[in-house]
């Protein structure tokens, strides 16, 4: 695997080695030994999968301490624009976001550490996303930031596609009013 730094402490892109032949392809989507060899401490406890249609935007989600979740995100089918927003007050990139196209063709993954809010928009007709988490879901500590917060100015890459956003995500506060303890 190849590790690509993003300029955000702990936020990295992982490019797996893909073996292809006439039968198809094979790659390791997670290898704890290789992660440790690369200096990455990530031990997943929960594996999640979601399916969404074109135009869906999910996010920006996170969990407060003491139950934060680091996530390793990959696309099984389709293409998304994945966004990680740094909400660590002591970070040089606090309040800034990183976005990357993830798709089922290149199989790149994004490792999102604790202290980031996460969201994505679906660019293909359908997208299936899998992500591993290093902590279990805890509804009491779940929080979010509004995806349309004008201070963030996130361009979700949907062009003329009408966004589909849950009521819950639309009701999230802007970053200046959000609760976070990182």
114-143 pLDDT tens trace: 999 999 999 999 999 999 999 999 999 999
The pLDDT score that the predictor gives to residue 176 is 98
Q: Return the percentage of the chain with pLDDT > 70, whole number.
A: 100
State both tokens at 149.
């917060």
pLDDT of residue 66: 97
What per-residue confidence (pLDDT) applies to 25?
95
Does the active-site annotation cover 19? Answer: no
Exposure class string for 127-160: b at 16+ Cβ within 10 A, else e: bbbbbbbbbeeeeebebbbbbbbeebebebebee
**155: confidence class by pLDDT, cuts 50, 70, 90:** very high
pLDDT of res. 159: 96
Annotated active-site residue in 19, 114, 131, 141: 131
Average pLDDT over residues 23-27: 95
pLDDT at 27: 95
Q: Is the peptide bond before 66 cis (omega within 30 degrees of 0)?
A: yes
3-state percent helix, strand, coil for the chain, nearest multiple of 5: 10, 40, 50
Structural domains for the chain: 44-177 (2.60.120.10)
Cβ 71 vs Cβ 179: under 8 Å: no
Q: Are 54 and 31 in contact (CB under 8 A)?
A: no
Instruction: Round to whole Å and give the CA distance between 70 and 42.
Output: 8
Q: In this structure, what are the phi and psi dihedrals at residue 175, rounded to the nearest 5 degrees?
A: -55, -40
Q: What is the pLDDT of residue 88?
A: 98
Distance CA 77, CA 74 (A): 9
- Let me know if 155 is a catalytic residue: no
Per residue in 58-95, pLDDT (tens digit) is 999 999 999 999 999 999 999 999 999 999 999 999 99
What is residue 132's predicted lDDT score, i.e. its pLDDT?
98
| Active-site choice (61, 62, 114, 118) | 61
89-122 pLDDT per residue, tens: 999 999 999 999 999 999 999 999 999 999 999 9
In terms of phi and psi (left: phi > 0; alpha: psi -120 to 50; beta: otherwise), the region of 59 is left
């Amino acid at each position: 695997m190849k590790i690509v730094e993003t300029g955000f402490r702990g936020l990295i892109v992982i490019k797996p080695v893909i073996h292809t032949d006439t039968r198809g392809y094979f790659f390791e989507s997670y290898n704890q030994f290789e992660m440790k060899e690369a200096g990455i401490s990530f031990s997943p406890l929960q594996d999640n999968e979601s399916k969404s249609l074109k135009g869906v935007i999910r996010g920006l989600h996170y969990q407060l301490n003491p139950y934060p979740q680091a996530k390793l995100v990959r696309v099984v089918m389709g293409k998304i624009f994945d966004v990680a927003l740094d909400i660590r007050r002591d970070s040089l990139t606090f309040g800034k976001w990183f976005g990357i196209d993830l798709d089922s063709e290149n199989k790149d993954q994004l490792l999102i550490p604790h202290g980031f809010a996460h969201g994505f928009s679906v660019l293909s007709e359908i997208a299936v996303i899998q992500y591993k988490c290093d902590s279990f879901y805890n509804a009491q500590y779940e929080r979010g930031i509004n995806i349309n917060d004008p201070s963030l100015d996130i361009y979700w890459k949907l062009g003329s596609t009408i966004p589909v956003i849950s009521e819950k995500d639309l009701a999230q506060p802007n970053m200046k009013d959000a609760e976070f303890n990182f």
